[in-house]
Amino acid sequence: MTKQFEFNWRIPVPEPLQTGGVFDCWDEECGAFEPNCLVKVDEYGFFIYWKSDGREGQVLECSQVNDIRLGMVLKINDPKVLAELQEKSEQSLDTRTVTICSGLDLVNITYTPMVSRDAETAKTWFEGLRKITLNTKANNVCPMTQLKKHWMKLCFMVNPSGKIPVRSITRTFASGKTEKMIMTCLKELGLPSGKFDEIEPSAFTFDKFYELYHKICPRSDIEELFKELSGDRAFITVPKLIDFFNERQRDPRLNEILFPFYDRSRIMSIIQTYEQHPEYVTKEWFSMDGFCRYLMSDENAPVFLDRLDIYMDMDQPLPHYFINSSHNTYLTGRQFGGRSSVEMYRQVLLAGCRCVELDCWDGRNEDQEPIITHGKAMCTDILFKDAIQAIKETAFVTSEYPVILSFENHCSKLQQYKMSKYCEDILGDLLLKKPVEGCPLEPAVPLPSPNMLKRKILIKNKRLKPEVEKHQLELFQKGISEIQDNELGEDPNILPANVDGEEGPLNDLDPTGPNTDTEAHPELVIGKTDSSNSDPDIEAKKSSLKISNKKMEDMLKDDAPEGSLTADEEQMLLHSYHYTSATTNIHPYLSAMVNYAQPVKFQGFDVAEERNLHFHMSSFNENTGLGYLKTQAIEFVKAIAGYHQHSSCFETILCDSLPVFEVVKWSLIKSIWWATPTLNSEPSYNKRQNSRIYPKGGRVDSSNFLPQIFWNAGCQMVALNFQTPDLAMQLNQGKFEYNSNCGYLLKPDFMRRPDRTFDPFSESPVDGVIAAHCSVQVVSGQFLSDKKIGTYVEVDMYGLPTDTIRREFRTRVVPNNGLNPVYNEEPFVFRKVVLPELAVLRIAVYEETGKLIGQRILPLDGLQAGAGAGGGADTRVVRPGGASGDRGARVDEGACPAAERAAGEVNGGGSPAAACGT
């Protein structure tokens, strides 16, 4: 950077965690019990590590830790282990246990209980670990710090005698070099080098590791640049450095007053910081080592590092933000026959999501507890109250900004009242029950801002008309009104006028009658029907399913495995499945808790504009617009009158940049969400109120649609299946990693201002926005895999249709080298990026077989210009550069040594895969 920037990624590690404590540890995977472990956390907060006498050192990476809980999450079935733990203290196990939850994705979670001697120690560690984990900034540290992190891990993974096995070091570099070569390098450094030798941790300093790294992985790419600048001398002079930094490092977009050009003083500051030879500092020279250290520093991060903090204006109305949103949050896998889990609410919220979905149904047991499940789809159940408790505990750990609970409510009024009480009693003051001051629920009044709603939970559920709600609530509180579902059914003049349905009433359910369709598992009722009195239609449905009653019951048990249905059974169930809309018979107590997220049936943009109620919102299936296109084509033609000039190139743009099935969805967006016929029109729908998009029902495998197409249209809540780490989720998590992963991203100015219009299909630059030119050169990679495999790199861009380029730029395959492949490709050029604010780069590393190793999402408008270098595990760097207003990027890909982690990671924008460029 022109100005020196201090990247404060470190969270101070409490002293008791650095000093260490004695715990009894339990390994869930192998069932091993390890008593009397000395557990510590390093000074940087990278690792939780422990060792006991006669055992190898164990390491848990904090970046893989999803949650810290006080109490025993797992049940220990070994009576001997349980007895030993209980004998060590009179205090209960729950008060003495800290459970570490970790994993490479949001579904497959490993629980590591650590039992202390007393409750006070457990509480200290719980609070300390909660403080330092979920540090997303630590995932963006510079390559030099990542090398240090890798060295630290080697030092912690000692053998039973407390020494570092040489084999551990050879394995680190085995994906690209032979064991003999690595041992020769160790010998040259004066370290033990035999296959069965051990190294004292005190002898294996970071300087030794850094020297070993450069011996094994020489940076020929950096050497070439250094020779160019030095003229084949051993140093670069200050005048040469000034030219290099101003012409090739400095971002031409920066203001010259706020970010002045590099001068002698700034260059000397860089030399004094990174040059290790005092003589060179005195002579004002920069050596190859100092140059490399600079390129691998935080000053060469891929993005402006301040964007990892809250850098956006958080005082705008809610509809002015993209909101990180989840669909069918409770499911761990498929939509049919899948398993529901309370844990998913924890994991999704901790990952930064701010809108979660709860499909609520009447419980089947005698206790009449409301449940959450995918109704009529043979998915398992969880208790509503357990989900609310999990939401309370994790809602504001990652972000303090508001959480929206999207209820799909199928419950009877009795169980709706239970739902309301659970929300009220468990959430307490976190629940927003009344509008905030200054933002009444009145026409033309904007919604409050995220800052105004900090640490508040909003309920999205259908609501009664205010006057009816008030009357019913008064009767209920006086005890006059009974909680019955047929209470209002006798008066057909009341209910239809009282509630707008998000999806509209069911075709086979009288909306003025009692809400009787509250059974989440009619398949069990079908299975137990008395054939002598059964309905022929039910019997036909039962016959068509061809699934035994016992299998149905087994699949709905809590411990049922994922994917119990065969492909044929799933298809039969899908064909017989009938979506049941949420109930329109709302309990007034629940209705009164709804405020700024009131779902209404979408009746057209003209109706929404006429009502001008900012707190109304509608949800759209990804394919819902197709129906509108078929039945209201004339209205759509009127709406898109201002866009006809683009129709000739529209299909061509989409077919070139997106799969064919996306063209239809782009057509939908063009026709609906951003239709602005004239410059004098009123503010469009998504500038005024929220819209939510969710996957179509046919996605039984829980796959996702590409969210970018709906972000381009200004849709705030693009709800995805978080359990599926596909491309769509990678884009979602990569985008929301910025702004401190708070779950809210301010939309571009032209998407918010009522006096601005925006055509998401324009090929011309937006008024006031300068189009960008981006050039990406993939040079080399570091630590891409722990296997000796061939690799290649793909570079894609996602944004407006005209800016989206997929599967066009790909490097050659470098065979048999997962350690430090050199690609040295010609630049991949994105010649004209119309709207940089909405564009992102995706850099992905693949095995030669096509298997993903790792990927990284980078916002185009946040990329820093210049050259950079990277090396080591978990590096995350990309370099844009250029002059005269152009953007270029020479990219050197780097990822963590573990391919499994890189491919499985979803948090923080995908894998730890990185790019470092020179």
Which residue carries 């509180």 as its tokens? 477
Cβ neighbors of 23 (< 8 A, separation 6 or more) are 37, 39, 50, 98, 114, 115, 116
Identified catalytic residue from 150, 327, 614, 616: 327
- Check: CB of residue 381 under 8 Å from CB of residue 520: yes
Question: What is the DSSP-derived secondary structure letter of residue 795?
Answer: E
Q: How many CA atoms lie within 13 A of 559 on its CB side?
A: 0
Residue from 593, 682, 690, 74 nearest 322 by CA? 690
Separation between Cα atoms, residue 65 and residue 797, nearest integer Å = 30
Q: Find out whether 816 is annotated in a ligand binding site.
A: no
Q: Find out whether 357 is annotated in a ligand binding site.
A: yes
Separation between Cα atoms, residue 49 and residue 28, nearest integer Å = 16
- Check: CB of residue 507 under 8 Å from CB of residue 590: no
- Check: CB of residue 297 under 8 Å from CB of residue 275: no
Joined tokens for residue 271: 């030399």
Strands, sheet with 852-859, edge to edge from the N-terminal-most edge strand: 805-810, 791-798, 840-847, 852-859
Separation between Cα atoms, residue 615 and residue 623, nearest integer Å = 24
Residue from 596, 654, 605, 134 nearest 323 by CA? 596
Q: Is 419 exposed, middle or buried (0-12, 13-18, 19+ CB in 10 A)?
A: buried
Which residue carries 């971002």 as its tokens? 251
- Check: CB of residue 252 under 8 Å from CB of residue 865: yes
Joined tokens for residue 128: 């300390």
Separation between Cα atoms, residue 880 and residue 888, nearest integer Å = 5
- Check: CB of residue 216 under 8 Å from CB of residue 181: yes
Q: How many CA atoms lie within 13 A of 764 on its CB side?
A: 7
Residues of the chain by 3-state class (helix, strand, coil), percent to 5: 35, 20, 45
- Check: CB of residue 520 under 8 Å from CB of residue 410: yes
Q: Whats the size of the chain, residue-wise?
A: 918
Residue from 688, 695, 759 nearest 724 by CA? 695
Question: What is the DSSP-derived secondary structure letter of residue 816?
Answer: T
Is 521 considered catalytic here? no
Separation between Cα atoms, residue 803 and residue 324, nearest integer Å = 23
Q: DSSP secondary structure string, 540-580?
A: HHHHHH---HHHHHHHTSTTPPTT-S-HHHHHHHHHH----
Identified catalytic residue from 150, 374, 410, 521: 374
Q: How many CA atoms lie within 13 A of 721 on its CB side?
A: 22
Separation between Cα atoms, residue 788 and residue 772, nearest integer Å = 38
Residue from 171, 168, 170, 176 nearest 789 by CA? 176
Joined tokens for residue 222: 């950096």
- 257 in helix, strand or coil? coil
Please provide residue 67's backbone torsions phi and psi, each rounded to the nearest 5 degrees.
-160, 155
What 474-479 contacts at long range (C-beta under 8 Å, 24+ apart), as own/partner pairs, is: 476/588, 476/589
Q: Find out whether 408 is annotated in a ligand binding site.
A: yes
Is 374 considered catalytic here? yes
- Check: CB of residue 139 under 8 Å from CB of residue 874: yes
Cβ neighbors of 864 (< 8 A, separation 6 or more) are 1, 251, 300, 301, 302, 303, 304, 879, 880
SS3 of 127-144: the string is HHHHHHCCCHHHHHCCHH
Q: Which amino acid, 612?
A: N
Please provide residue 152's backbone torsions phi and psi, each rounded to the nearest 5 degrees.
-60, -40
Q: Find out whether 6 is annotated in a ligand binding site.
A: no
Tell me the binding residues.
Answer: 328, 357, 359, 408
Q: Catalytic amino acids?
A: 327, 374
Tell me the binding residues for Ca(2+).
Answer: 328, 357, 359, 408
